[in-house]
Amino acid sequence: MFLETKNESGIRRGWIEVICGSMFSGKTEELIRRLKRARIARQKVEIFKPSVDVRYDEENVVSHDANIISSTPVESSTQILLLANDVDVVGIDEAQFFDTELPSVCNQLANSGIRVIVAGLDMDFQGKPFGPIPALLATAEYVTKVHAICIRCGNLAQYSHRITGGDKLVELGEKQSYEPLCRTCFQAVKKNQPPPKY
């Protein structure tokens, strides 16, 4: 359903897809899957990530399951407009780390006939809407919310609980720094209560 980018009259149709959820929910895995399918369909694909995200690799987009796709690290979202030339599909990973211009950039790309696929955290470690994601959710044609598994009770998790402390909004880390929690366990942790027993 997502591969067609031209209508019957040959006019390119663009749109925005957002893949969001907590850490360890498979956002990047789904982004890579869609981009690889676009390449199989012989579409020209360009992938971008924020240069600040160097957890797995300085250039490539890498999922927690070690799936890799080549990408271009950029300092700001406006650089994407300069580098996304003659493409059918633009992929953007870790969108929450971009500046507030990202929704405008994505809309400009979509308006020019490009399919834009964005993946990112929808909430920060405090459970609050994160960066440019809320505005992207409001303007996207397609939204996919993926869930992790709560590390404490096994239910679906949508929160990324920081276990290392600190109040800094952006703190890069993996399983040693964050754990996925469901709403009930996240609220219990915030109140310094033990998680409920199931």
In this predicted model, what pLDDT tens digit does every residue of 66-87 receive, in sequence order? 566 788 999 999 999 999 989 9
What single DSSP character describes residue 133? H
- Gap between the Cα atoms of 3 and 74, Å rounded: 26
What single DSSP character describes residue 65? T
- The per-residue pLDDT for range 85-138, each reduced to its tens digit, is 899 999 999 999 999 999 999 999 999 999 999 999 999 999 999 999 999 999
Q: Is 8 contained in some domain? A: no
* Count of structural domains within the chain: 1
Q: Is 181 contained in some domain? A: no
Q: Is 160 contained in some domain? A: no
Q: Is 94 a catalytic residue?
A: yes
Task: Return the half-sphere exposure (C-beta side, CA atoms, 13 A cut-off) of residue 58.
Answer: 0
Catalytic entry in 94, 171, 174, 179: 94
Q: Is 9 contained in some domain? A: no
Residue 120 is part of which domain span?
15-146
Q: Is 119 contained in some domain? A: yes
Q: Is 108 contained in some domain? A: yes
CATH of the domain at 106: 3.40.50.300
